Amino acid sequence: MNTFLNNLHETRSAKTGLIDATLNRAADENRDITEVELANIQALKLEIEKLDERIEQITDLEVRKAKAAELAASVTGETETRSAAPARVTYEEPTYHERGANSFMQDAIAAEFGGSYEARERIQRYQNEVRLEKRDSGSSNFAGLVVPQYLVNQFAPLRRAGRPFLDISNRQTLPASGMTVNIGRLTTGITSYVQASENTAPTESSPDDTLLTVNVNTVASMWDLSKQAALRGVGVEDQLLGDAIRSYHTKLDGLAINGSGSSGEARGVLNTSGINATTYTDASPTWAEFFPKLVAAVQDVNSNFYSRPTHIVAHPSLVGCWLRALDTTNRPIFGPTSGNPMNAAAVYDTPDYLGGGLQILGLPVVQDANVPTNLGAGTNETAVIIGDFRESYIWEENGGDPLYVRFEQPDGNIAIRTVLFGFSAYTAGKYPTAFSAITGTGLITSTWA
């Protein structure tokens, strides 16, 4: 069996294993499968059917090739072998790159629906490159193509609201199979005692742990595009596929902050049970009144988690309120570092969404537009998150870079349906007290002085 065919079989086996794992989990828990699990199973079933078609095609080619070789050997009586001097390739451009003449999206569509041999050959070569890079050892044509790295690098990090929250989190590689990630939590530790007298037995303690189960979630986007635009449009790949990648990362970041933990959503830090909570109630909030609440939230992490927080995360609109705060002599409370401010609780280099060196109490402030602004009874409050983000865990496939894209043809339409999706798992529940959230009417930004 050639390497490509072997990879197809391995991919099919892995996807079948995911379905079995989902069904076995439901059976073990004596329940029916959920709508999310059913959707994942249906998607995997479609991918397996396409894999079966591809396996049948490649197997037929292999059989034909073997018969041709057998016939040639019977005519000549021997099999010709050749040897060549060793060659070494020092560098070769990837099949799809930002300076390339070929479009990944157009080639993928032409290979799937147009039967283009040249496009199919480039896609197959690209899939082999992906496997060599070990970005997705199980990829196969059109069962979930990995988006080229240059598109991810060009569009994912710096557009839309982005993923500032996730970029400071503890990033892990998602396991190759299974619909959950399990973490052991030591909930009852070992207790030390004083020995009452010489030659007496020590007092025994009984440690205990609890399994924290984190669901693997799917974030996807789907859109239809006319075949004319897909195959002849200029900039379609950059505009649509690039925007879908940006949308994917933005959605994932928002779920990590405020996901409900149900209906296929990850449980975000603001909805994690057990985090430290500080309420700031104020009809006319000011920096002077808010600052003690911020200090209290920071100290809650120190007091309850016994470690310092690493970051403060807030919506840009609230950060803007802080930056314009003045003292009693109308001087800015937040001073630029270039001015060498003295006795300043907060400083910044530049008011930049993507950094800017803003610090309060020595903690970096991360501006994230995915922090909700519709909280509270009036749906107009925001929140401030303080935490040790080494305990904010995000599992993604191969570091979060590979997203998968699949092309379908809607019935009755001269169009191409593109589905872009990725798998991930998130939790802040391993040590909830590592995080504090400040909420309340004092965080309605329009009321700040």
Tell me the CATH number at 285: 3.30.2320.10
**Residue-level pLDDT at 138:** 36
Helices assigned H by DSSP within 172-286: 227-232, 236, 242-258
Q: Other C-beta atoms within 10 Å of 45: how many?
A: 12
Whether pLDDT at 438 is above 90:
yes
**Is residue 90 exposed (0-12), middle (13-18) or buried (19+ Cβ within 10 Å)?**
exposed
Instruction: Kindly tell me if the per-residue pLDDT of 311 is higher than 70.
Output: yes
Are residues 308 and 166 both part of a single domain?
Answer: no
User: Within a domain: residue 34?
Assistant: yes
Give the pLDDT score at 121. 82
Q: Which residue in this structure is represented by tokens 């010709």? A: 80
Name the band, by pLDDT with cuts 50, 70 and 90, for residue 139.
Answer: very low
Residue 402 has pLDDT above 60, yes or no: no
How do residues 182-231 score in pLDDT, each as one tens digit?
887 777 777 887 877 887 877 777 777 788 999 999 998 887 877 666 66
pLDDT at position 295, please?
97
* Cut 0.75: pTM above it: no
Give the residue carrying structure tokens 């309120």.
321
253 part of a folded domain: yes
Confidence class for position 134, pLDDT limits 50, 70, 90: very low
CA distance 172 to 168: 12
CA distance 142 to 409: 13
| Choice among 6-15, 48-57, 78-87, 429-438 with the minimum mean pLDDT | 78-87
Q: Same domain for 435 and 352?
A: yes
Residues 121 and 171 in one domain: no
Identify whether residues 415 and 312 lie together within a single domain. no
Whether 191 is covered by a domain: the verdict is: no
The distance from CA 115 to its chain's CA centroid, rounded to whole angstroms, is 33
Our CA angle for 27, 32, 37, nearest 5°, is 95
Rg (alpha carbons) of the chain, rounded to whole number: 28
- C-alpha span between 277 and 293 (Å, rounded): 10
Mean pLDDT over each residue of the chain, to the nearest integer: 80
pLDDT score for 286: 94
Asked whether residue 314 falls in the same domain as residue 344, the answer is yes
Q: State the DSSP string of 390-425.
A: GG-EEEEGGGG---EEEEE--TTSSEEEEEEEEEEE
Residue 310 lies in a domain: yes
User: Which residues are 82's β-sheet partners?
Assistant: none
Residue in the block written with tokens 């057998």: 70
Contact assessment for residue 161 and residue 250, using Cβ atoms and an 8 Å cutoff? yes
**Does residue 293 carry a pLDDT above 80?**
yes
CATH number, domain of 406, equals: 3.30.2400.10
E-state strands within 242-392: 276-279, 311-314, 335-336, 346-348, 359-360, 363-367, 384-387
Structure-model confidence comparison of residues 255 and 24, the more confident one: 255
CA–CA gap between residue 446 and residue 321 (Å, rounded): 9
> Is there a single domain that holds both residue 141 and residue 168?
no
Mark whether 49 and 125 lie in a shared domain: yes
Residues with Cβ within 8 Å of 328's Cβ and at least 6 positions away in sequence, in order, are: none
Of 96-100, 265-269, 292-296, the range with the lowest mean pLDDT is: 96-100
Amino acid at 105: M
* Res 294 pLDDT > 50: yes
Burial label for 247, CB within 10 Å (0-12, 13-18, 19+), is middle
Domain assignment present for residue 302? The answer is yes
Beta-ladder partners of 171: 394
Q: What integer pLDDT is reported at residue 141 of this predicted model?
A: 38
Q: Measure the CA–CA gap between 229 and 322, rounded to whole angstroms.
A: 47
Q: What gap in Å lies between CA 338 and CA 356, rounded to an integer?
A: 12
pLDDT at 53 over 60: yes
In a domain, 72, yes or no: no
195 within some domain: no
Query: What is the predicted pLDDT for the residue at 135?
Result: 42
Range of the domain at 243: 152-185+208-266+400-426
User: Exposure pattern of 304-335 as b/e (b: 16+ CB <10 Å)?
Assistant: bbeeebbbbbbbeebbebbbebeeeeeebbbb
Same domain, 362 and 260: no
- Kindly indicate the confidence band of residue 398, based on its pLDDT and cuts at 50, 70 and 90: low
Do 308 and 258 share a structural domain? no
Distance CA 275, CA 435 (A): 5
Residues 328 and 416 in one domain: no
Domain count within the chain: 3
Residues 29 and 174 occupy one common structural domain: no
pLDDT at residue 254 in the model: 97
Same domain? 163 vs 308: no
Please indicate whether residue 135 or residue 420 has the higher confidence score (pLDDT).
420
Q: Is residue 194 part of a domain?
A: no
Q: What is the mean pLDDT of residues 360-378?
A: 95
3-state class (DSSP) for residue 185 = strand
402-429 average pLDDT score: 78
The more confident residue out of 213 and 81 is 213
By percentage, how much of the chain surpasses pLDDT 90? 35
Confidence of residue 73 (pLDDT cuts 50, 70, 90): low
Strands 363-367 and 359-360: antiparallel
pLDDT at residue 164, as a whole number: 93
